[in-house]
Amino acid sequence: MEGRLEHQPALDGLRGVAVLAVIAFHLWPDLLPGGFLGVDTFFVVSGYLITGLLLAEHRASGGIDLRAFWLRRARRLLPALFVLLSVVAAAAAAWWPAQDLARVRGDALAGLGYVANWHALAGGDGYFDSVRGPSPLGHLWSLAIEEQFYVVWPLVLLAVLRRRSGAGARAARSVAVVAAAGIVASVAALVLLRGDLDRAYYGTDTRLHALLVGALLATVLPIGAAGRRVRPGLATAALVASAASWFLVDETAAWLFTVGLPLHAALTALVIAGAVGGGKAPAVLTHAWTVAVGRVSYGLYLWHWPVIVVLTPGRTGLGGAGLLTLRAAVTVGLTVLSYRFVEQPVRRLRVTGRRLLV
């Protein structure tokens, strides 16, 4: 049985703040040049939650049901993605120049297979040059890295736990050692490849450290454990530092691809450690609005970029506040529809076997 996680509003709030930073970066890259770091926040949160839940399941049952885990991930991620790809395909057929359709088609197939980050590298797409590019699916690279982690990390985790069967504390320490080793290797790859900015930014190996920072946190701060180990003031300071980096850092910072990205991941881990369990989270993370945004953050991330790319001044005849209002309304509308009629119904649907596969 999967380890249970009580609802943690602060984690929803953290996701909400992070997705707003990413959206703001895509809308106003000059105003929030480091907003792309919100993606790293998602990575750390995902690594923490997935590892914590798997470890909790192992403690409760003595094993990990990989098939059930992967089915849960599929039910959570795939339905909304299928709808997104269908809508983008229709929009591309209606509005895209013929010479760009092949790129959109390739991006869609890569997104469907969760290899969008490697597809972007193979195609020579630069992330920081593509914020105004023609592809409405360029943002799927980060989901690809997460999904690759979801496939491989549970296998590694299970192998480590089997070697330490029956030894709860020692098993967790072994997982921590593996996660720490992975962080070192990933940061080393990041530093070695920093001369190729796109390779360093898109690579699963170079971005893995953020997910593993979350995984390492889960071994020392198990799901449901009290967060009082980190003083609330320290968690707030870490959040402020992270938010400041969204305004002050850009991709040209020489230190970003050496210590910058790992430092941001560590700051996010401090925020999580101070917020979960019995800790007092920074107020912004438990505000009703940020929690609500966080609960639909997956849909917001999926829909915001295609909306920005499709609803251009040329197609809408709008600019400034009018265009921003239209984009916001369409993004929120599609997000709510996806959450209400696609994501939640599929997650609650109790079917197995062939019906679930269909």
Residue 134's pLDDT band (cuts 50, 70, 90): low
Would you say 21 and 124 are in contact if contact means Cβ atoms under 8 Å apart? no
Spatial CA neighbour of 295 closest among 239, 343, 333:
343
Any idea which residue has 């691809």 for tokens? 257
Q: Is the pLDDT of residue 19 over 80?
A: yes
pLDDT tens-digit series, residues 84-98: 999 999 999 998 888
Phi, psi of 272 (to 5 degrees): -60, -45
For all residues of the chain together, what is the average pLDDT?
A: 89
Residue 132's pLDDT band (cuts 50, 70, 90): very low
Query: CA–CA separation, 166 vs 151, rounded Å?
Result: 24
Q: Which two tokens stand for residue 200?
A: 């360093």
Q: What is the pLDDT of residue 233?
A: 81
Q: Which two tokens stand for residue 136?
A: 């409405």
Q: Is the pLDDT of residue 22 over 90?
A: yes
Q: What is the pLDDT of residue 167?
A: 54
Q: Is the pLDDT of residue 290 over 60?
A: yes
Phi, psi of 306 (to 5 degrees): -60, -35
Q: Is the pLDDT of residue 349 over 70?
A: yes
**How buried is 315 (Cβ within 10 angstroms: 0-12 exposed, 13-18 middle, 19+ buried)?**
exposed
Q: Is the pLDDT of residue 173 over 80?
A: yes
Q: Is the pLDDT of residue 64 over 60?
A: yes
Q: What is the pLDDT of residue 227?
A: 47
Question: Which residues have a Cβ under 8 Å from the Cβ of 170 and sit 6 or more positions away?
Answer: 164
pLDDT tens-digit series, residues 295-327: 999 999 999 999 999 999 999 999 999 999 999
pLDDT above 90 as % of the chain: 70
Q: What is the pLDDT of residue 2?
A: 44
* Higher-scoring residue by pLDDT: 224, 144: 144
Query: CA–CA separation, 5 vs 44, rounded Å?
Result: 17
Cα atoms in the 13 Å half-sphere on the side-chain side of 208: 21
Q: What is the pLDDT of residue 225?
A: 58
* Higher-scoring residue by pLDDT: 144, 230: 144
